[in-house]
Structure 1
């Protein structure tokens, strides 16, 4: 790879990059760190967390804790009390949450209201419904938190513990410790921390399903390679190939963008490419045709561009 050109492009256009790892055919072919980081430093990967939550849903389904993605959301919350006139919520399924096609009662996401509450899952449930149409794409981070509650109730243990046993340990990823954000200041400090650690949990101890996880680029690349391997790692099927295929197939659309089960589906010359994309440029990119995985960890930067064009212009031509 043209190391000088790549570094120059990162420094000029993507200066918040902390680390970059590239795998080809399962082999590490490029690794570079910036701003004083090394291979063990963890970074908050923002919404890349959502795609990892998708893998955990697949594992729970494989193990029989969840029957299918068409199960009604409220089936997992038998004690939840509906408000008068909200019967439509009963038709919302797990699949609607995974494909971002559930409706919500807000114009813009009420992050502060949800993340200052005592129970973030219940706060998400309280926002379901409204005048929106079930089946229409509506990206929601606060709504994603409901998935954490679903896994907790279906499995009988925290999503974080389940992830440690079924994903992190087999991949030899150091399990993140639960991290609590007690107020707005600590919340902002975590997001802006260049050396963030752990997995954010709510006051009930449930990890955030839509953000809040910290990983290093090597660990992000392992997760991408697991998906490229159709769920197999060191000869063991960690998550079914059918789930990998289904979750990385288009199920909904937002303008020209395709969406699977908490994965973005990229249309790149029928390459079977999909990606986990997070705020500030955090990326796990998987290209089936070229057998390439790219992991990029980035510090917080408002309105940062995605790294897809960067990967297409400066990585694929060199190794594809």
Structure 2
């Protein structure tokens, strides 16, 4: 019966979630399921899209723990002392790192000007120029790419390292995760190709060489699962405290709420799925997910190629994957 369920699951994936490239399921710290689709293998990286934001959240927490950043209550402009605030624009002066992490910072735009952002000479300055305005501070306003990039600028200013170097030293190396080289996207065609290409690797950088925060990182499904397991372990990896436990507690509890997507609670660049089960996720376009269920001690990572309006992977996990793999003893024998 269980084997039939496994076959049934993969039929569902191949029919209804057919842009999936890989799925890894960990239960009680053990790998109980791993499979690849669309001619991908365990070594293929995928562009994880907005899952990158949750990686940035982790790096902010590490930077605070190590003293590079004082707290989430620091003002954003503390890290950009040369930025000139225009006359009458006071809202930007009160914006904090916490506002950026919880998507409650105000912006001057109604919809993000992606093309203008990507074609500007300085993405950080462009983003700062859009921060503030007359919008209400404290109201959830999802910034997919533009505003999120400011957090990368803060990391660079605070640590004196590139984001990728800081991440490698303090997050990826302890987890034995290897990321590719920096990726420069010169024009619109290269941007589109990066989102659609099946063979990408590395981390996108802006014209100043600052790694992106809202998108642009590539990882394997197992890399993604390791991040989830690290959080399930409260920041400990092989007896080393990689991420402070207090940061995991803070970043995976509700701080704001996204009204346009089912009133879903939001932490520090993590989506809160079910507070009673301490269930949360990093989610990106196309169906890229790092999913953690603290109560069930389960991690699910799903890597996917970009397609518009991808089907909800959380529904796939909650309705199909979790119920199948709750009995880890059987599946450990199957792997």
Q: What TM-score do you get using the length of structure 2 for normalisation?
A: 0.94
Deviation by residue 1:181-236 (Cα, 9 ceiling, x = unmatched): 00000000000011211100001000001100000100000000000000000000
Q: What secondary structure, in the 3-state scheme, does the structure 2 residue paired with 1:68 have?
A: coil
Deviation by residue 1:128-160 (Cα, 9 ceiling, x = unmatched): 012211100000021000000000001111111
Q: What secondary structure, in the 3-state scheme, does the structure 2 residue paired with 1:197 have?
A: coil
Residue 43 of structure 1 contacts residue 194 of structure 1 at CA under 8 Å; is this kept in 2? yes
**1:288 maps to 2:294:** yes
Query: Match for residue 33 of structure 1?
Result: 36
Structure 1 runs of 4+ aligned residues shifted over 3 Å read none
| 1:131-170 superposed matches below 5 A | 131-141=134-144, 142-170=146-174
Query: Match for residue 315 of structure 2?
Result: 309
Query: Match for residue 332 of structure 2?
Result: none
**Partner residue of 2:99 out of 93, 96, 99:** 96
Query: Match for residue 59 of structure 1?
Result: 62
Query: Match for residue 266 of structure 1?
Result: 273
| 1:194-233 superposed matches below 5 A | 194-233=198-237
**1:122 maps to 2:125:** yes
**1:182 maps to 2:186:** yes
Q: Which runs of 5+ in 1 are unaligned?
A: none
- Once the two structures are overlaid, the 10-residue window that deviates more, 310-319 or 229-238, is 310-319
Deviation by residue 1:91-126 (Cα, 9 ceiling, x = unmatched): 000000000000101111101111111211111111
TM-superposed deviation, 1:50: 0.3
Deviation by residue 1:49-88 (Cα, 9 ceiling, x = unmatched): 0001000000000000000000000001111111111112
Q: What secondary structure, in the 3-state scheme, does the structure 1 residue paired with 2:148 have?
A: helix
Residue 277 of structure 1 contacts residue 306 of structure 1 at CA under 8 Å; is this kept in 2? no
TM-superposed deviation, 1:254: 1.4
**1:70 maps to 2:73:** yes
TM-superposed deviation, 1:267: 2.0
Residue 179 of structure 2 contacts residue 218 of structure 2 at CA under 8 Å; is this kept in 1? no
Q: What TM-score do you get using the length of structure 1 for normalisation?
A: 0.98
Q: What secondary structure, in the 3-state scheme, does the structure 2 residue paired with 1:143 have?
A: coil
**Partner residue of 1:171 out of 155, 175, 185:** 175
Q: What secondary structure, in the 3-state scheme, does the structure 2 residue paired with 1:280 have?
A: coil
1: CA distance, partners of 2:80 / 2:312: 36
TM-superposed deviation, 1:175: 2.5
Deviation by residue 1:243-272 (Cα, 9 ceiling, x = unmatched): 00000010000122000000000127x110
CA RMSD of aligned residues (A): 0.9
How many pairs were matched up?
319
Q: What secondary structure, in the 3-state scheme, does the structure 2 residue paired with 1:315 have?
A: helix
